[in-house]
Amino acid sequence: MGVTHATSGAALWIATTGVLPYLDTGIHPLPASAVLAGSIITAGAALLPDLDHHSATIAHSVPLVGRTIAAIANNVGGGHRQGFHAPLMLVGVWFLASWMSRWQWDIGEFTVAAGAGLTALALCSFGVKARRYVSSWAKAWAVGLAYAALVLAMSPQGPSWLPLAVTMGYAVHLVGDILTTGGLPVLWPITIRPPRWVRRTPVLSAVWRPGGHVAVPLLGDAGSRREKVLGVLMSTYVSFGVVAETCRMFGL
Ligand SMILES: [Zn+2]
């Protein structure tokens, strides 16, 4: 479900950038504002793999255009939970996000980090809508616009952590999906279907799916009660993280 994916994206970003430094891992701590701003990017990016599905949240983001892009993604990726859900895709996402981060626009005397701004606009709108903070897509885009303006005001060149946040969001979606019964095409574009004896062996057939996907189905089917419980736990964690980082931002 979109909402669980978005929440998992925000939770992962807060956990790695907000909490890890305190565990003395040697990772350079990000300022609290970047922990907060980045969690919105990872929440939105965690919805991107499902662009290959016509009824995904983001396929409705822009009338007609969203569904057209979803149809193209479905075709290019070879269907739902195919190419767009492959670990290999993370390499492409990293390069695309890095390229977007560097894409600048010259308007008169000003240089605008257009790529970073557009990425922030789209991903914030996706995340805000998926987490049901707003009721309509028009409101989601308005929030996204305000967020993008804030991000560019904070870092006019575009934030350095943007490619990392986008890639982490995409990756956590894949982790979420592999925990469901459908699994993932882990070796895509190579598909290896299980032999008949595997398909007949109870636990093995749940891990190595007949279509060649691999699953660690701890959450059961997508949308299961277990997924909802995990969603509530992660959502609580994100709320605590946001409060803690906001306090840190104001030196409390
Ligand atoms: Zn998915």
The DSSP secondary-structure symbol of 113 reads: -
Residue 23 has a pLDDT of 65
Residue 25 has a pLDDT of 61
Q: How far away, in angstroms, is 49 Cα from ligand 1 center?
A: 6
Residue range 39-57: mean pLDDT, rounded = 93
The tens digit of pLDDT for each residue in 112-153 reads 999 999 999 999 999 999 988 999 999 999 999 999 999 999
Q: How far away, in angstroms, is 132 Cα from ligand 1 center?
A: 18
Residue 54, Cβ density class (10 Å: 0-12 exposed, 13-18 middle, ≥19 buried): middle
Q: How far away, in angstroms, is 46 Cα from ligand 1 center?
A: 9
Q: How far away, in angstroms, is 248 Cα from ligand 1 center?
A: 34
Which residues are paired to 111 by β-bridges? 106
Q: 89, 49 in Cβ contact below 8 A?
A: yes
Q: How far away, in angstroms, is 92 Cα from ligand 1 center?
A: 17
Name the token pair of 201: 């062996």
Q: How far away, in angstroms, is 236 Cα from ligand 1 center?
A: 23
Q: How far away, in angstroms, is 229 Cα from ligand 1 center?
A: 18
Residues above pLDDT 90, as percent of the chain: 72
Q: How far away, in angstroms, is 5 Cα from ligand 1 center?
A: 8
Q: How far away, in angstroms, is 99 Cα from ligand 1 center?
A: 24
What CA–CA distance (Å, rounded) separates 185 from 191? 7
**In whole angstroms, how far apart are CA 191 and each of 73, 122, 241?**
19, 32, 40
Question: Would the pLDDT of 64 be above 80?
Answer: yes
What CA–CA distance (Å, rounded) separates 217 from 42? 23
Question: Would the pLDDT of 107 be above 90?
Answer: no
Name the token pair of 121: 């606009």
Residue 24 has a pLDDT of 65
Q: How far away, in angstroms, is 81 Cα from ligand 1 center?
A: 6
Q: How far away, in angstroms, is 82 Cα from ligand 1 center?
A: 9
- The helix (run of H) or strand (run of E) holding residue 111 is strand 110-112
**Phi, psi angles (nearest 5°) of residue 81:** 55, 40
Domain ranges within the chain, ordered by starting residue: 2-176+222-249
Q: How far away, in angstroms, is 224 Cα from ligand 1 center?
A: 14
Instruction: For the beta carbon of residue 107, count every other beta carbon within 10 angstroms.
Output: 8
Per DSSP, helices labelled H in the chain are 2-13, 32-45, 65-77, 89-102, 114-130, 137-154, 162-178, 196-200, 202-207, 225-249
Which residues are paired to 112 by β-bridges? 105
Residue range 206-214: mean pLDDT, rounded = 93
Q: What is the DSSP string of 2-15?
A: HHHHHHHHHHHHII
Q: How far away, in angstroms, is 174 Cα from ligand 1 center?
A: 7
The tens digit of pLDDT for each residue in 14-42 reads 999 887 766 666 666 788 999 999 999 99
Q: How far away, in angstroms, is 207 Cα from ligand 1 center?
A: 17
